[in-house]
A and B are shown apart, each in its own frame.
Chain A
Amino acid sequence: MIEVQNLSVHFTTKSSKLFHKNLIRAVENVNLKIPENTIVGLVGESGCGKSTLGRAIVKLLPLASGEIFYKGQEITHFKDSEFLKYRKDLQIIFQDPYSSLNPRFTIYEILTEGLFTHFRLTSTEARKKVISALEQMNLKPDILERYPHEFSGGQRQRIAIARVLVLEPKFVVCDEITSALDVSNQAQVINLLKDYKDKSNLSLLFISHDLNLVSYLSDEIAVMYLGKIVEHAKREDIIKNPLHPYTKALYSNIFEINNFQKKREVLQGEIPGVIQKPSGCYFHTRCPIAKPICSQQAPPEKNLNGHKVACHFV
């Protein structure tokens, strides 16, 4: 469905030196395949480039290098006008439902803006589509004339999801869509999204820092560290048999509701900054099994029967 090859995204920031800029390699040489009707969870700690990767895939950020393929078609170099017809297929839902909905638009205007851009519809047809999308998200049609401020965070996030689903997208990036919500609201949003996905042929890139949530929801899980994907495999493989020491540490460090006695392997040290990344394998400064080679050479990506991992000692 979606495939990215060698994707890199760079940013520049001001540096303390005059006429000098820092280059931040936010995402580096990422290869990622997202099959049809699949949820790929993307996890990692803050600042590791999860959101940047998500935005780059739906062409909201300029790439430093790499290609994006959608259904085999290369879409990397399309101009905005050429890309327009693909835009409705490739969508994104943002983290904060307070800033992602225009406060001056009614819910009807919010939901139909995309519809009228991409489809030629009469207003009755549009209304029908919008109402059915709202029903998918467990919202009543009588909210159409109201404004975003009248709703709670959980309701707003469901409106934001309905706005995307009304376009019948094929691929959606969900960027921390439940982090601003309480668990009971989160549960509702996740259940509804899952139901919708099972009914339609939708693929999701589900970005989150919540390992419990991603592990529950995803079919495949990709783990990112400082701009690189260090491990990517099927859900069961990652949960039962994580190979990369970073993935192992993440899973050992999460707190689980039904497993209180577990031993936690606590990592030493802080997450390195993204401007001055460590040499070789980025994880070697905190890795419990690091050897001299780890600080000299970046590990190649290995593929063990579909379980992809980048570590010298796997």
Chain B
Amino acid sequence: MSLLDIKNFYLNFSLKEKEVPVLLDINLKIEKGEIHAIVGESGCGKSVTSLAITKLLPENLAIYKSGKILFNQKNILELDDKQIREIRGKEIAYIFQDPFTSLNPIKKIKDQIIESYLIHISQNKKEALEKAEYLLKKVGITELKERLESYPAQMSGGMLQRISIAMALMCEPSLLIADEPTSALDVTIQAQLVDLLLKIQAEQKMSILFISHDIGLVGSISQKISVMYAGEIIETGPTREILTKPLHPYTQSLITSIPSLHKDPNQKLTTIFGIVPSLGEYPSGCHFFTRCKEVFEKCNQKPRLFETNASHVKCFLYAEECK
């Protein structure tokens, strides 16, 4: 039984009296204790997917068309606000990219960090503060007393992101959704935080949905990767498979377009011609159809998810009938 199981999920946005599809046929499974990464370029729907999981998208914008988001076998899309609030922050916690905007600037750290604990677990403030101090120590915050009394603006980005991690862990969630948690940070601080997250994840056996555009980073920490392009998950599979034997032409180009330390400088980077289709302008068939090098007649139809040995891929190159 998977902890989170998203099945054939479709999401639309209502923009100026027009409905545009945003996410199409999303299928995503996260097992207990697994780190699952979503990668893709900006605007491909990574963050929207993560927010949709607890219905955090603005109500006047998001239309949850069809499909299921099963969390512990409960369909989140069928729950009412009150029931979702029971899960949000307690069972499923978030860490966002920019700690300067995700923390409240006019509240002391102490008051923000215990908020979810007071709501979900116990009204006992002393107990909550003890828990907060324990977690802050764990994430490497020193001079605890002063830090608890200070405001976000008095601290560095790395330190605030540590506090966000501690805050997310207050109610011991079974799923942590980390949306580009280290993208705003410098490399040395990024390495500190990634090691910290991995340590805590191993101790608490929680699952992490890790969203990032940095494939090098994701490759080092996750067990599974889903690659998104223009609102669809086009390939999903074990990390090693995806990075060493990518199947989808988009994944292949994406991986070889990354410059790396050990790449021969005389070897060119792969480029993908054209631009990512913007919202509401997705091609009718395969979404990568307009930019794909290996396009053939069949590609103006919609590919379903084809299964190979270890991965699932949405590309007709791997369809039985086309082989």
Contacts and interface: CB of A to CB of B under 8 A. Distances in A.
B257 A266 contact: no
- Pick from B156, B159, B187 the residue with the most CB of A within 10 Å: B187
Interface stretch (A60-68, A82-90, A205-213): A205-213
Contacts of B262: 256, 258-259
A250 interface: yes
Interface in B217-257: 217, 219-220, 239, 243, 253-255, 257
A262 B221 CA distance: 11
The contact size tier of chain B is 35 or more
Contacts of B20: none
Interface string A259-299: 11010101100110000000000000010000000000000
Contact of B269 (A45, A191, A239, A256): A191
B189 interface: yes
Interface in B42-99: 42
Interface string B258-275: 111111010011111001
A209 B188 CA distance: 11
Given A257-B243, A257-B255, A187 B261 contact: no
B259 A212 contact: yes
A101 B192 CA distance: 37
A257 B257 contact: no
B215 interface: yes
Nearest to A194: B268
A188 interface: yes
Contact of A212 (B258, B265, B270, B275): B258
- Pick from A155, A194, A217, A256 the residue with the most CB of B within 10 Å: A256
A270 B186 CA distance: 10
Interface in A130-162: 152, 154-155
A182 interface: yes
Contact of A271 (B186, B258, B260, B271): B186
Contact of A184 (B158, B189, B219, B257): B257
9 contacts: A183-B213, A190-B259, A191-B271, A239-B261, A253-B187, A254-B216, A255-B219, A270-B156, A271-B158
Given A256-B216, A257-B216, A264-B191, 10 more contacts: A183-B213, A184-B257, A186-B259, A190-B269, A191-B271, A215-B261, A253-B187, A257-B243, A264-B195, A286-B188
The 3 closest A-B pairs by CB, nearest first: A187-B269, A255-B216, A253-B191
